[in-house]
Structure 1
Amino acid sequence: MASSDISAIFPIFTVLVGIAWYVWKTKAPRNGKLPLPPGPRGLPLVGYLPFMDSEIHHQFTQLAKIHGPIMKLWLGRKLCVIVATPSLAKEILKDNDIVFANHDVPESALALYDGKGITWSPHGSHWRDLRKVFVREMMSNASLEGYSFFRCREVRQMVTNVYAKRGTQINLGELAFITALNIMTSILWGGTLDGDERRKVGVEFRKAIDEIIELFGKPNLSDCYPGIAKFDLQGVVREMRTITNWLDKIFDSVIDQRMKMDSSNGEEGEENKDLLQFLWQLTKRGELTVTNIKALFMDVVIGGTDTTSTSVEWTMTEIIRHPKIMKKVQDELEEVVGLNNLVKESHFSKLNYLEAVLKEAQRLHPAGPFLVPQKPSQSCVVGGYHIPKDTKVMLNVWAIHRDPEVWNNPLEFKPERFLGDSGKLDFRGNDFRYLPFGSGRRICAGIPLAERVLTFIVASLLHSFDWRVAEGTKIDVSDKFALVLKKATPLIAIPTPRLSKQVLYS
């Protein structure tokens, strides 16, 4: 070969060697470790932050098609890993459950009663004790039955309120939020306060919850750059502490009322039992602190209002969009309940088609598109990649629930997919194709209550009324990312009474 040929090839060879070295340097395992997952490139210092979309569930799903079902990106100085298949979810939530037993806690949550509730507490004895109390006193069959009066009272009130507005347009998301909030606060302290006091506290409490939910959903630089968290540059922690002080006044007044009832009445009668009564007894025995009670109350209310009301709104959206499905649900309700009767919780076990509708709505529109982000307590391996300790790990449940390799015609609203053998798919997280409430030891502790409240509200709305949107209105099914996955535009619908007796609406 002539020297001129060698001279021409040498620059090309040098470039190829340089590229190969760069690929090896950036992709090869370091110190014998497996590589980090692939992912989009960011910028120095800020990572992928400048490229983040407001609708990250859509954005991350599209990125997964490019980089694969497990990918990484840097948000400032925070390493995030996002997974989007059932098999990867199983590795995190089952195979490595103990490693991923902690949640990645935002600064805003730490400012709310020091993050000492069930949701944000680190895995350990405190978390286990608090969860045990919650499950025993609120989620056991006996407790759920004991609180049925409160649920029934608030749902009946909802039906009465809707009847008063029959023939007019109603914001169903707002209606569901108020009903769910009333149910939760009634369970918490409904036997402690009388009707007027309960309504007054409920109004104040709703304002606080709205602000807390907004702060939880607000992007915070302190979470992306932990080193500057103490400066609270956006004032998120300061605002949350202000709300906490406001909540303290509400909680203290309710607890004070409970103390007065204990001192004047001694042991309560059955009709006055609420969660506060049980928790206050544990506080007097030294098993809980007042701060524990307040943090637990926040878990119950935040976890049981916004998610439930959003699920009600999405379910009603799909039902109104599909008149044949509405008729099938109403036919089942008419057969099981009867038009001369109101829905009772004892009917739920016979409402198989309604149950399938609720499951399908949770599949297509999961309230938590990423669940609560988790954080490994030690470095581990997921999907063949190295996941460092304290990485923020997000499960893209929204993508899993819409994956065509997992679900047949995934964008179609088809409740029948949850009938027959597929009806075994439930909210308990035993099948990693379907995770509306998560799975593993940090699965949502309130599933039994959430199921009852969601079923009660939707069943009562559909049994007591026919629903339609105003003529010429097209129902929008686009969503927007927040603490929960809400509708981009509220569902406004018009009710028409369908029960046989007007007295049933009283």
Structure 2
Amino acid sequence: MSYTFTIVLFSITLVLALAIRFLRSKKPKVQVPPGPKGWPIIGNLLDMIMNRPTHLWIHRVMEDMQTEIACFRFANVHVITVTSSKIAREVLRDKDEALADRADSYSSNLISHGYKDINFSPYGEKWKLMKKVMATKLMSPTTLNKTLGDRTLEADNIVTYVFNLCGLGSKMKPINVRDVALTYCHAVMMRMMFGQRHFDEPTEDGGLGPKEREHLDAIYRSLDCFFSFKVTNYIPFLRGWNIDAEEAEVRETVDFINRCNDPIIHERMQLWRNEGGKETEEDWLDTLVALKDDQGMPLFTYDEIRAQCKDINVGIIDNTMNNVEWTIAEMLNHPEILEKATNELDMVVGKDRLVQESDIPQLNYIKACIRESFRLHPANAFLPPHGAREDTTLAGYFVPKGSHILVSRLGLGRNPTIWDEPDAFKPERHLDDYTKDSMGVTLMEPEMRFVIFSTGRRGCPGPKIGASMTIMLLARLLQGFKWSPPNGASQVELIAADSNLFMAKPLLASAKPRLVPGLYPKIQI
């Protein structure tokens, strides 16, 4: 019996169980947003199952209906999707508090240790405390300045890592740009969070070790589970049966992340909470462990610290990796853009020193290229779902309490009513936006014409660190190397994956050093 047919049969058996709840639900006084016609009781659930990847089906339905806000009913849950910048601002600004919850799911509950984190937990006093700690402690200007040395060290390491790859014999293999980006992102995350680059033994070449690669793989697999449209997201009493083959996978990934993180967290808590132990905060984990409440007791429990560490694992890696890989791929297909970006680096920084974070304000064309990649190639089709805490309205339509609101990153970034030639890679469009701004190009987008770090209560708590890492990685790779398509090819194939919007295949490219050898530092483990 096929998987799809099993799900169909199983869904039909739910009709009687759901009927009572459905009939008791309040009928909206105002019309919900337009959407496809659904079946009694189960709504559009079968359509969701039969049309994978679901995000493409949702956008296709909205395009056919010529609407920028739509309502899909998956069992008893209204899932409202938005592709309009005006309505997105209403979601994330005007109705921010009313829509500040998160959608409940098996994977988010497991990843967050029962909603003890900032990303997945419901809106409330505990969440507000964690958000405040994240903003005023971990992501404060003081802390970010303190960790500048860690980020610079890994920016040095990554150019040397690529330099070493370039010099391995006369027949050099193309360089895996995704692997390079992940190496940098993971190393920066580890240094700032745990104060160390590796879980076990360091690698000699500066790359990722086996455990780090498994750690990254587990992070991405758990992310895919969170952003998936699964039956159990909308019918909670089915959780625990592994009917869509996701639950076993997310348990496996979370268990592996725990096996990597937990020994470090446990050891650090013992150091801080034993007399004569640690007294100086050196990384983010120190800060989380050392914080006290008004009675002088530890502010966070063990599980809350574990959950916050997972948030950092997830939040600091995917956007930077995805953006830099797509940006270099687009540049390889547009050599004039690649040349212009490289020339900017030569003019602002020169070729006798490596680019630093202090140079970022002057790298406006580099930032314009990054903005254009965020617009065209977000890491996922939607922002994490917002949950309606109360009955409200959007664009004049009724939004019932408990609805899931999905702002489409893909729909905003490629909306033809917002962007001229929406499918074209044109960094110059972002320079035009900032010609009168003395601050130059930034990676903020308050008008929600596309999404970089989101905004509002549920916005990314660390946009500054995310922006700095992305700009520095791209700038170092362009300054340090001359890039070209591999094996004499003239173009790179630009195809997105189905489960997320990463490149379907890791980008392979040829690289040649363009600086004198002495500028590439030794790897610092």
Task: State the TM bucket, normalised to the shorter chain.
Answer: 0.7 to 0.9
Q: Please name the residue that 2:175 is paired with.
A: 170
- Rounded to whole Å, the distance in 2 between the matches of 1:477 and 1:235 is 30
Q: Please name the residue that 2:58 is paired with.
A: 60
Q: Please name the residue that 1:10 is paired with.
A: none
Aligned residue identity for 1:477: L
Secondary structure of the equivalent of 1:480?
Answer: coil
Conserved 8 A contact 1:89-1:395: yes
- Rounded to whole Å, the distance in 1 between the matches of 2:379 and 2:150 is 24
Secondary structure of the equivalent of 1:90?
Answer: helix
Counterpart among 290, 293, 309 of residue 281 in structure 1: 290
Written as runs of structure 1 = structure 2, the 5 A alignment for 1:66-105 is 66-67=64-65, 68-105=67-104
Bigger drift between 449-458 and 277-286 goes to 277-286
Q: Please name the residue that 2:206 is paired with.
A: none
**CA-CA distance at 1:93 after TM superposition:** 1.4
Counterpart among 32, 37, 44 of residue 41 in structure 1: 37
**CA-CA distance at 1:349 after TM superposition:** 1.2
Q: Please name the residue that 1:7 is paired with.
A: none
Gaps of 5+ in 2: 1-25, 167-171, 204-208
- Rounded to whole Å, the distance in 1 between the matches of 2:378 and 2:460 is 13
Do structure 1's residue 475 and structure 2's residue 517 form an aligned pair? Answer: no
- Rounded to whole Å, the distance in 2 between the matches of 1:245 and 1:421 is 46
Counterpart among 175, 180, 187 of residue 185 in structure 2: 180
Against the structure 1 CA distance between its residues 233 and 183, is the aligned structure 2 distance closer, same or farther, given a 3 Å change threshold?
A: same
- Rounded to whole Å, the distance in 1 between the matches of 2:198 and 2:297 is 23
- Rounded to whole Å, the distance in 2 between the matches of 1:165 and 1:309 is 19
Q: Please name the residue that 1:206 is paired with.
A: 216
- Rounded to whole Å, the distance in 2 between the matches of 1:382 and 1:210 is 32
Secondary structure of the equivalent of 1:310?
Answer: helix
Q: Please name the residue that 2:159 is paired with.
A: 159
Deviations 1:168-204 (A, max 9, x none): 3112112212221111111111259898379676355
**CA-CA distance at 1:211 after TM superposition:** 3.5
Secondary structure of the equivalent of 1:196?
Answer: coil
- Rounded to whole Å, the distance in 2 between the matches of 1:39 and 1:500 is 60
Aligned residue identity for 2:175: I
Do structure 1's residue 331 and structure 2's residue 329 form an aligned pair? Answer: no
Q: Please name the residue that 2:233 is paired with.
A: 223
- Rounded to whole Å, the distance in 2 between the matches of 1:286 and 1:402 is 47
Secondary structure of the equivalent of 2:457?
Answer: helix
- Rounded to whole Å, the distance in 1 between the matches of 2:252 and 2:504 is 29
Aligned residue identity for 1:226: P
Secondary structure of the equivalent of 1:121?
Answer: coil
Q: How many residues align?
A: 474
**CA-CA distance at 1:43 after TM superposition:** 3.3
Against the structure 1 CA distance between its residues 32 and 186, is the aligned structure 2 distance closer, same or farther, given a 3 Å change threshold?
A: closer
Q: Extract structure 1 runs of 4+ deviating beyond 6 A.
A: 192-195
Bigger drift between 250-259 and 286-295 goes to 250-259
- Rounded to whole Å, the distance in 1 between the matches of 2:265 and 2:236 is 36
Secondary structure of the equivalent of 1:80?
Answer: strand
Conserved 8 A contact 2:158-2:184: yes
**CA-CA distance at 1:162 after TM superposition:** 0.9
Q: Please name the residue that 2:383 is paired with.
A: 371
Aligned residue identity for 1:173: R
Bigger drift between 432-441 and 30-39 goes to 30-39
Against the structure 1 CA distance between its residues 244 and 62, is the aligned structure 2 distance closer, same or farther, given a 3 Å change threshold?
A: closer
- Rounded to whole Å, the distance in 2 between the matches of 1:405 and 1:211 is 35
Question: What is the RMSD computed on CA atoms of the aligned residues?
Answer: 2.6
Aligned residue identity for 2:258: D
Aligned residue identity for 1:81: I
Gaps of 5+ in 1: 1-29
Written as runs of structure 1 = structure 2, the 5 A alignment for 1:70-469 is 70-112=69-111, 113-166=113-166, 167-190=172-195, 196=201, 202-203=212-213, 205-234=215-244, 236-259=246-269, 262=272, 266=277, 273-282=282-291, 285-422=297-434, 426-469=442-485
Secondary structure of the equivalent of 2:257?
Answer: helix
- Rounded to whole Å, the distance in 1 between the matches of 2:215 and 2:80 is 36
Greater C-alpha radius of gyration? 1
Secondary structure of the equivalent of 1:487?
Answer: coil
Conserved 8 A contact 2:150-2:192: yes
Secondary structure of the equivalent of 2:424?
Answer: coil
**CA-CA distance at 1:464 after TM superposition:** 0.0
- Rounded to whole Å, the distance in 2 between the matches of 1:312 and 1:429 is 18
Aligned residue identity for 1:248: N
Against the structure 1 CA distance between its residues 236 and 62, is the aligned structure 2 distance closer, same or farther, given a 3 Å change threshold?
A: closer
Taking structure 1 as the reference length, the TM-score comes to: 0.86
Conserved 8 A contact 1:72-1:82: yes
Bigger drift between 68-77 and 485-494 goes to 68-77
- Rounded to whole Å, the distance in 2 between the matches of 1:39 and 1:265 is 63
Aligned residue identity for 1:474: Q
**CA-CA distance at 1:418 after TM superposition:** 1.1
Deviations 1:367-396 (A, max 9, x none): 232111111111111122111111111112
Aligned residue identity for 1:224: Y
- Rounded to whole Å, the distance in 1 between the matches of 2:28 and 2:277 is 67
- Rounded to whole Å, the distance in 1 between the matches of 2:28 and 2:403 is 19
- Rounded to whole Å, the distance in 2 between the matches of 1:485 and 1:292 is 30
Aligned residue identity for 1:115: Y
Conserved 8 A contact 1:192-1:254: no
Against the structure 1 CA distance between its residues 261 and 381, is the aligned structure 2 distance closer, same or farther, given a 3 Å change threshold?
A: closer
Aligned residue identity for 1:212: S
Q: Please name the residue that 2:14 is paired with.
A: none
Q: Please name the residue that 1:15 is paired with.
A: none
Conserved 8 A contact 1:192-1:258: no
Aligned residue identity for 2:265: I
- Rounded to whole Å, the distance in 2 between the matches of 1:69 and 1:431 is 16
